[in-house]
Structure formats: C-alpha cells, structure tokens
Amino acid sequence: MIARPEGGPRVVVGVDDSAGARCALSWAIGEARLRRLPLLVAHAAPLPPHVSAAGQLGCGITEALRGSGAELIARLLAEVSDGPPDGVEMTALALVGEPGATLVRLAGEDDILVVGHGARGPFSRLLRPSVRLHCARRARATLVCVRPPTFDTLLERLIARDESPEHVPDSRFRRLGRRLRLPL
C-alpha cells in the first residue's frame, strides 16, 4: 500500500496502451483536480508465463517490465496532459504483477479507482482476463469505468464542427457516413 498524505482519499488510475486507458487517465486527472485529491497513476505488467514457470526472475525481466511501464506512463501523460498535470499531486508507479489484483491492492476503501472500459472479444478474454471485471468484483474502493467515445459520438462532434462556416460542407467524414448509410 502506498502511503497517503494525512491518510486521506486519492484517485488511483490503472493505465495500459489502449484508448480506454487514455480516457480513464484524462478523467482521473480531471477528478483529482476537481476534488483536490492526490493522483496515483499505476501500470502493472504481468510476468510472461514462460518466465514465471521457469523461475527466471533474476534475469532482468522485472526491471525491463518496470522500465517499459515507466516509459508508457510518461508517454500517456505527455499525450493526455502534455506531461505531469498542473495543480495535481501525482505519483506514478510501474509494477510487475497481474493488473487487476495490483489495482485492487493499491486502492483503499476511501479511494476512487478508475479503469478504462475496453471492447474485447471472448478469445481475447481467455488469454487475458478483464481488469475491469476483476476490480468490479473485488475492489473496496469506489470504481469508475470510463468508456472511450464511440464512433457515433465522434461523428456528432464532427458534424457540429462541420456546420460551422469555416469548414467545407462535404468533409471526408461526411462521405464516410454516407458510405456507412448513417443519417448525417
């Protein structure tokens, strides 16, 4: 468990390299800023099965996984908020372990746990269990699942932008909507 200032609540967000994680990170930054809570950004990388089965933990794999996790967190923060967010006390952790179990251990009862909501198929879920469902079943913290915007939401935003006078009325997204037979 990570020490908290004055033992108060915080916003804990789990990230990976997905659209849902980017949206979850953005939402968590806004929530931490709004509530004036510390932010904990965590990336947990599971050990590859062949490494954990062979017991080769001393061969530098855990350090490599932590290093790539730290690079991922830095890249996501640069994409979402141009670096560490202003006005938010932030801690970043790159850990090795199962992502769902790691996030459940990190988030206490008075925390807000934020995860992305991805769309995966059943075969993908067999290979890699859902972090969101694991957290929903076992977390004591308040859980927030953030969905990335859908294609319809993006089209609505583009249509609203296309109706402004500075845009050409026949954009490529409007043509895409016609091909997909969407009412634009």
- What is the side-by-side strand order in the sheet with 142-146? 90-96, 39-45, 11-14, 112-116, 142-146
pTM of the model: 0.75
Range of the domain at 28: 11-119+131-149
In a domain? residue 174: no
Position 54 in a domain: yes
Burial class, 144, CB count within 10 angstroms (exposed 0-12 / middle 13-18 / buried 19+): middle
Question: For residue 112, what is the domain's CATH number?
Answer: 3.40.50.620
Are the CB atoms for 15 and 71 separated by under 8 Å? no
**Does 177 map to a domain?**
no
Q: Is residue 83 part of a domain?
A: yes
Per-residue pLDDT of the chain (184 residues; tens, 9 = 90+): 454 556 789 999 999 998 889 999 999 999 999 999 999 999 999 887 766 555 555 568 888 999 999 999 999 999 999 999 999 999 999 999 999 999 999 999 999 999 998 777 677 666 677 898 899 999 999 999 998 877 766 666 677 666 555 544 555 555 555 555 555 4
Domain count, the chain: 1
In a domain, 3, yes or no: no
Tell me how long the chain is: 184
**Residue 88: inside a domain:** yes
Minimal CA–CA distance to 102: which of 90, 115, 89, 91? Answer: 115
